[in-house]
Amino acid sequence: MKNIKKISTILLIIILIVYLSINSFAFEIEEATDYIWLQEEIENASTNASDEPILNSRYIVVLDRTSKTIIYGKSENSRVPMASTTKIMTAIVLLENLEKNNLTLDSKIEVCKQAAAIGGSRLGLKTGDKVSINDLLYGLMLCSRK
């Protein structure tokens, strides 16, 4: 049980650190409608490869994972902060490892002193708060704009 609590505390700290670091980078990179427009464009895309898609996003890369070839790019060589990619990957890693650590989305994690002391969080977590993993994931995936 102590190991589960330690692992839970470590996961909470990782989630909070990632959330706080993303919060300062993502404010101007993503727009709330980027995902909606991208999905609509994918669904409405013509099979004619010569048609240029109209996407409401500043940076896009569509990569063929097998050949590592860029199929489509828009400002694909620009250096930009990771935006929500880190948040999404953190959520995926957590979800993939819940069962290995005998945890569920309903498992409660106690906020440790170090996690509560991290500034800049809008979640308002305090030392000793007990928060479900589901609620932490929800807080992680909230829009990080200022």
Residues of the chain with pLDDT > 90, as a percent, come to 16
**Distance (Å, whole) CA 32 – CA 49:** 28
| pLDDT, tens digit, 9 for 90 and up, residues 81-127 | 776 788 888 898 999 999 999 999 999 999 998 888 876 666 788 89
CB 18 within 8 A of CB 76: no
**Distance (Å, whole) CA 56 – CA 106:** 37
Mean pLDDT, to the nearest integer, of 12-18? 68
**Distance (Å, whole) CA 17 – CA 113:** 13
pTM (2 d.p.): 0.47
> 13 phi and psi, to 5 degrees?
-60, -45
Domain boundaries, the chain: 2-29+84-141, 34-74
CB 132 within 8 A of CB 105: yes
For residue 56, give the DSSP letter.
S
**Distance (Å, whole) CA 12 – CA 111:** 7
- Give the 3-state secondary structure of residue 125: coil
- Give the 3-state secondary structure of residue 35: helix
Mean pLDDT, to the nearest integer, of 53-62? 79
| pLDDT, tens digit, 9 for 90 and up, residues 67-81 | 888 888 888 888 887
Q: Which of 9-23, 45-59, 92-106, 121-135 has the highest mean pLDDT?
A: 92-106
Residue 60 is predicted with a pLDDT of 84
* Lowest-pLDDT choice from 10-19, 25-34, 79-88, 132-141: 25-34
In this predicted structure, the answer to whether residue 9 has a pLDDT above a threshold of 50 is yes
